[in-house]
């Protein structure tokens, strides 16, 4: 990878968002946080590029 892409890139973004919400249905707050943490780790492993992951962390911190 050559850097973090911060432009929309998910086909059917609304459908994806619904899937994400559905994955959290019937979970406690702690279970929901744990699911998010596991998802982040799975996706970071898939990306594999520490520079890109670092850029994503910085972007996420600024957006909050």
CA 56 to chain centre: 9
Q: Which helix (H) or strand (E) holds 63?
A: helix 50-63
Q: Which is more confidently placed, 63 or 17?
A: 17
Task: Convert the pLDDT of each residue in 37-46 to its tens digit.
Answer: 999 999 999 9
The percentage of the chain sitting over the pLDDT mark of 70, rounded to a whole number, equals: 97
Residue 64 has a pLDDT of 74
CB-based burial of residue 40 (10 Å sphere; 0-12 exposed, 13-18 middle, 19+ buried)?
middle
Confidence of residue 2 (pLDDT cuts 50, 70, 90): low
Residue 13 lies in a domain: no
CA separation for the pair 13, 51 (Å, rounded): 25
37: domain range?
28-64
Does residue 4 lie in a domain region?
no
20 part of a folded domain: no
Based on the structure, what is the number of domains in the chain?
A: 1
pTM of the model: 0.85
User: Has residue 52 got a pLDDT over 90?
Assistant: yes
Whether 34 maps to a domain, the answer reads yes
């Amino acid at each position: 990878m050559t850097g973090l892409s911060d432009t929309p890139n998910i086909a059917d973004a609304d459908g994806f968002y619904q899937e994400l919400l559905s994955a959290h249905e019937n979970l406690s707050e702690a279970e929901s946080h744990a699911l998010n943490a596991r998802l982040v780790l799975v996706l970071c492993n898939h990306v594999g590029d520490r520079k890109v992951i670092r850029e994503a962390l910085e972007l996420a911190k600024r957006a909050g």
